[in-house]
Structure 1
Amino acid sequence: MYSVKEAFYTLQGEGAQAGRASVFCRFTGCNLWSGREGDRARSRCTFCDTDFVGIDGQNGGQFLDAAALAAHLTALWQAPDQANVSRYVVFTGGEPLLQLDEALVDAMHAQGFEVAVETNGTLPAPAGIDWICVSPKSDTTLRLTRGHELKLVYPQAGVDPANFAGLDFTHFFLQPMDLNPGAIVSDGDPMAATVGYCLRHPQWRLSLQTHKIAGID
């Protein structure tokens, strides 16, 4: 059974695939934070800006098997099929690799989707994923040290981008810390710090949350 907080059709807002039409599937649960504000300060990820608790979001629910969830997500795709243009689904969370498995990857492929995942990288990934985006968090051990995109929220206390620069990823992004009201961050201006680091270390590119800038859900 899969537990989904929400699912929706939108444009990808971040990283190398920014601007791409996508079905997003946000799974419930995370291995770095319970999602409860009372636990934030003592969690391993203190700055998450996402609600991944429960199954009460838009198009959320529980799905008995991969075929049922794949059919549900396929129904959310709103564009007509075109030659050389693939459907695209992004599994996120919380931590999607607590639930995403090979059966679901195969079921989405059968529906004509490229499959992407946005993960903290602390869990192994099933075979067949087309796009792996890893977003490391402080005080964790990466299990996924290769993929397509490494997207590091910056600055994080105790996290040095140089420690990830030698990993086997195609794209390296720094994304300024979003100063949401509950976040626990270091002092300073995250945008200025991120821009400055990218200027000094051109391997890294700036990633902005363009969906928030554009007012896209």
Structure 2
Amino acid sequence: MPSIEQTIVTYPIVESFHSVQGEGYWTGTNAFFIRLAGCDVHCPWCDTKLSWKASRHPQQSVIELGKLAASVNPAIVVVTGGEPLMHDLTALTEALRAHSLQVNLETSGAHPLSGQFDWITLSPKTFLPPKPSIYPHVNELKVVIANPKDLEWATLQQSLVPESAFKYLQPEWNSRQSQKLVFDYVLQHPEWRISLQTHKFLGIQ
């Protein structure tokens, strides 16, 4: 049974939904998404700017979120944002893991790590760089590429994550130039893979 303290822990939620993971290592996997509100990274090409201001979104308890996730029997639960680590995620991950769910995190790493995760995807941004403490915990590095300087940033980030981490370059969605940059770079650097936003190609959430 959840403790009294746990039942009153809430988070600002932009949306939660059942779909498939569209990006990176887990592409095509049955997934339940929890999109937390609040972000101070403010990427200019962000496709979820509605998530930036936490006060605009309703609060939901961790008990509700755990039940919602478990009800669709997903292979993974993806905690994303916004920037989810703006919040202490301990109570949320406890509630999800109580249902024996695999819990994945998508983060820029700009805030201290909290919560217990089975998989951490780091998508570092130059606008607000990651905290050094996140790097040892990274399972997957995913760098969005909009221009050639982003490739230099990707190389730096590669040197900081564990050697075992999967490494992905993801073209900025609206830029054909970035698609070519990523394609050409991966052909020359076999340690990297291409990540595409397949959910956008499929027209799904």
Contact 1:119/1:133 (<8 A) preserved: yes
Task: Tell me what 2:188 maps to.
Answer: 200
Distance 1:125 1:156, change over 3 A: farther
**Any stretches of 5+ residues in structure 1 without a counterpart?**
34-44, 80-85, 180-184
Task: Tell me what 1:83 maps to.
Answer: none
Task: Tell me what 1:62 maps to.
Answer: 59
Task: Tell me what 1:8 maps to.
Answer: 17
Equivalent of 2:32 in 20, 23, 39: 23
User: Which secondary structure does the structure 2 equivalent of 1:23 belong to?
Assistant: strand
1:103 matched to 2:125? The reply is: no
User: Which secondary structure does the structure 2 equivalent of 1:107 belong to?
Assistant: helix
Q: 66-75 or 115-124: which moved more?
A: 66-75
| Aligned-partner Cα distance in 1 for 2:148–2:130 | 17
- May I ask how many residue pairs the two structures share in their alignment? 188
Task: Tell me what 1:39 maps to.
Answer: none
| Aligned-partner Cα distance in 2 for 1:137–1:47 | 12
Answer 1 or 2: which has greater helix percent. 2
Distance 1:127 1:101, change over 3 A: closer
Contact 2:148/2:181 (<8 A) preserved: no
Q: Give the number of the structure with larger relative contact order, counting CA–CA contacts within 8 Å between residues 6 or more apart.
A: 1
Alignment of 1:5-154 (within 5 A): 5-33=14-42, 45-50=43-48, 51-52=50-51, 61-63=58-60, 65-75=61-71, 77=72, 79=73, 87-143=75-131, 144-146=134-136, 147-154=138-145
| Aligned-partner Cα distance in 2 for 1:66–1:118 | 18
TM-score, structure 1 length as denominator?
0.78
The letter of the residue matching 2:47 is D
Contact 1:24/1:89 (<8 A) preserved: yes
Once the two structures are TM-superposed, the CA of residue 167 in structure 1 deviates from its matched residue by 2.3
Kindly report the root-mean-square deviation, in angstroms, between the aligned alpha carbons of the 2 structures.
2.3
Contact 1:138/1:158 (<8 A) preserved: no
Alignment of 1:168-183 (within 5 A): 168-169=161-162, 170-179=165-174
Contact 1:4/1:61 (<8 A) preserved: yes
| Aligned-partner Cα distance in 1 for 2:148–2:12 | 32
